[in-house]
Amino acid sequence: MGARPGRDARGPLAGLLIAALASAACAVGGVAEPEGDRPAPNPSAASPGPSTTRADSTTSVAEFEQDVADAQAVAERYWAAQFKASGQRFQPIRRITPYQRAGEVSCGGQALPRNNAVYCSQGDFIAYDIAWSVAAFRQVGDAFVFYLLGHEYAHGIQVRLGINYSFTIQQELQADCMAGAYLGDSVRSGALSLAEGDLDEFREGVAAVGDDPDQPWFAEGSHGTSEQRTESFFRGYERSLGACDLG
């Protein structure tokens, strides 16, 4: 998967209501994998080095970091274009922060755990466990990085739009749809190019972070089953933001 600089994916985003970024608590929009689906611990993840992945060719931490930077740049261009088309000013998410240990980064006074990626509304930043993320990158492929960043970035957009659902699962499935729209629109505009197998990587990566089938949908922290998350992502990917119930 590759980013092409200078290309915008433009489209209308109706009814933008930019909300204040300050929040009394951390708006956790994390992608936390169920225990059984997490990639196996990778002791070499902290040190750059090649590793063979099933989905792609040789990968390294340097390539992972470049993919994160590319995904961030494409997301910022995409959302800036959407806001501009609606006559609104876009404010990018302040920073994207990797961490290596549980508790190294906190959100609203709450320490972030290992094996997670999260958007924190109080600090307006995205944080991710680099060892877990690199392991997923190596096992699933580089497309997973673009999905992961797109999902968390969507939570930042939800804050900017003042979207707040009663149940976590509603927030999460909408973020999956928005991530799909950002990626699908960027591919159609030429801002991103797909390599062979990238669509399968999207499907596999989204399915891997689904809730356990026994997880109650109304429980705090529910993100949706593999089927629900995959359906939401590809609905956005194929039909753009109009399919994401943004109002």
Confidence of residue 199 (pLDDT cuts 50, 70, 90): very high
Q: What is the pTM of this model?
A: 0.80
- Residue 58 has a pLDDT of 52
Q: How high is the mean pLDDT of the chain? A: 81
19 vs 204: which has the higher pLDDT? 204
Please report how the helices 226-239 and 198-208 are oriented relative to each other, as an axis angle in degrees rounded to 10: 140
Tens-digit pLDDT profile for residues 128-154 = 999 999 999 999 999 999 999 999 999
Residue 192 tokens, joined: 């991103």
Q: How far apart are CA 202 and CA 188, in angstroms?
A: 16
What does the angle CA 63 – CA 65 – CA 68 come to, to the nearest 5 degrees?
110
Q: How far apart are CA 147 and CA 218, in angstroms?
A: 24
List the helix and strand counts (H, then E) for the chain: 6, 9
Longest dimension (CA), the chain: 48
Nearest Cα residue to 142 out of 74, 228, 234, 92: 74
DSSP lists the bridge partners of residue 119 as: 126
Confidence of residue 30 (pLDDT cuts 50, 70, 90): very low
